[in-house]
Chains A and B, each alone.
Chain A
Amino acid sequence: KQGQGSIASFFKKA
């Protein structure tokens, strides 16, 4: 079963 990654884990808070 595949999990869905979160976009926030790829892009850091500016």
Chain B
Amino acid sequence: MLEARLEQANLLKKVVDAIKDLVQDCNFDCNDSGIALQAMDNSHVALVSMMLKSESFSPFRCDRNIALGINLGSLTKVLRCAQNEDILTLKAEDAPDVVNLVFESAETDRISEYDIKLMDIDQEHLGIPETEYAATITMPSAEFQRICRDLSALSESVSIECSKEGVKFNCQGDIGSGSIHLRSHTNVDKPELNVEIDLTEPVSLTFSLKYLVNFCKASGLSNQVKLCLSNEVPLLVEYALSNNSYLRFYLAPKIGD
């Protein structure tokens, strides 16, 4: 059986909020290392990969591999019934029909309990190869969100060019063009504002802004976001969570010109 207790319901609320517009039905794969989720969006352009390590829960117990097929719309409805600060416990039997969610308020004696019916989801699982990326950019997640939002007003796509000079986000649209240039930057007082660019070779790739704007819904999960790029491979956008847990998005580049 599965029993996983989260100190704050907020974490799961934010994760589900960040991915629910991209994927609708998905399996939460539970085993002794934690709870993982991998799903492609309907158009097979983007891939979501979430890992909530067992260390992110206290306690965490899962004796056997259990796949919880959940509709994220249903999960959102139930998670809205939790206060951000509530303690959240997920429970399921070994061959479950439902997943049970218990929300406990630390301040009051209120305990609420919900069951969500599970679905059989036949999902193809993709193997994501270990990649040595040519460029890795770590930057404030709010800055990345702003860039994507600003440029999406002008164009459907953005080119991300990374060189010794820094990183340049460029777009061309019907009304004109826009570009934002960032260089490595260290702020000793506010390290969450740092921009770090780790480059082994120059990279230039073009991506759909619609998807990037969607990924940025995860900005509330982490002050910083990591962008990993190599020519002709999908972009990795990573929001690191505590205890080595993470929310990652992969986006296939645009091809040709």
Residues of B contacting A9 with CB < 8 Å? 252
Q: Interface range on chain A: under 10, 10 to 19, 20 to 34, or 35 or more?
A: 10 to 19
User: Which one of B45, B47, B206, B255 lies within 8 Å of A11 (CB-CB)?
Assistant: B47
Cβ B126 vs Cβ A5 within 8 A: no
Mark interface residues in A1-14 (1 if CB within 8 Å of B CB, else 0).
11111111111111
The verdict on B83 contacting chain A, using a C-beta distance below 8 Å, is no
Cβ A4 vs Cβ B233 within 8 A: no
Cβ A11 vs Cβ B254 within 8 A: no
Q: Scan residues 120-134 of chain B and give those whose CB is less than 8 A from a CB of chain A.
A: 124-129
Cβ A12 vs Cβ B251 within 8 A: no
CA separation between A8 and B38, bound complex, in Å? 13
Give the residue name and chain of the A residue nearest to B251 (CB). Answer: A7
A3 to chain B, nearest CB (A): 5
CA separation between A11 and B236, bound complex, in Å? 13
Q: What are 9 A-B residue pairs whose CB atoms fall within 8 Å in the complex? A: A5-B254, A5-B255, A7-B40, A7-B47, A8-B40, A8-B126, A11-B47, A11-B129, A13-B124
